[in-house]
Amino acid sequence: MSDFPALIHFYQGWALDPGAVSGDGLPVYKDTVMIQIEKPPLLKLNRLAEREDFTNYPEEYEVFQRTLKARDTEIGDSGYPLVMWPVVSPADVETFAARKIYTVEDLAKLAGRRDLPGNFAELALRAERLMDMQKQFGKYEAMLSERDAQLVEISEQLKDARNTISAQNSMIDTLKMRVA
């Protein structure tokens, strides 16, 4: 028997849905939570996770839930998801998820910290630069919307001026016909 503790890892997998068959006669699979139990040097077991596994290994299951949250691609109030930022690798997304960092904004808040490993510190600085660029973009966006509003106003004034000129030209034509 080994003196090493068992290494537990939850992951998302799939399993055959025993009662379901698709319209074309092929099997149907469903998403499931899997567990990998590894006890070095010889034992490595992959199987469907059971309710007892979630209660027996709560920390590992919490890390799995964070990983699922990190894979969420919905852009919301919390910020831009790390999983959609092409700068980070899937391994980085998993690593940040274990540390409860899910968005580029969360990562940017860590910029300048000295306790981060080298590549994480670099990614945090890149995230901070991205946030700074977006702030500047917001400034330009406001300027463009102001210019658009001015353009609409000038277009209305030009339309009114053309109508006035047209009315004056018709008045001049009427006066010319009276004089002639």
The per-residue DSSP string of 94-149 comes to HHHHHTT--BHHHHHTTTT-TTS-HHHHHHHHHHHHHHHHHHHHHHHHHHHHHHHH
> Which of 44-58, 92-106, 140-154, 165-179 reaches the highest mean pLDDT?
44-58
**Mean model confidence pLDDT for the chain:** 84
Of 26 and 53, more confident: 53
Task: Give residue 2's pLDDT.
Answer: 53
Least confident of 7-16, 21-30, 120-129, 170-179: 21-30
Of 163 and 176, more confident: 163
**Does residue 36 register a pLDDT over 90?**
yes
Residue 111 neighbours by CB under 8 Å, 6+ apart: 121, 124, 125, 127, 128
Q: Which amino acid is at 42?
A: L
Task: Give residue 28's pLDDT.
Answer: 82
**Average of pLDDT values for 92-111?**
85
Residue 81, SS3 per DSSP: strand
Inter-CA distances, 154 with 26, 148, 150, Å: 65, 10, 6
At residue 55 the predicted structure's pLDDT band, cuts being 50, 70 and 90, is very high
Residue 83, SS3 per DSSP: helix
Task: Give residue 133's pLDDT.
Answer: 81
User: What is the CB neighbour count within 10 angstroms for residue 159?
Assistant: 10
Quote the CA–CA distance of 7 and 9 in Å, as a whole number: 7
Q: Are strands 7-21 and 27-39 parallel, antiparallel or unpaired?
A: antiparallel
Strand partners, 81: 103
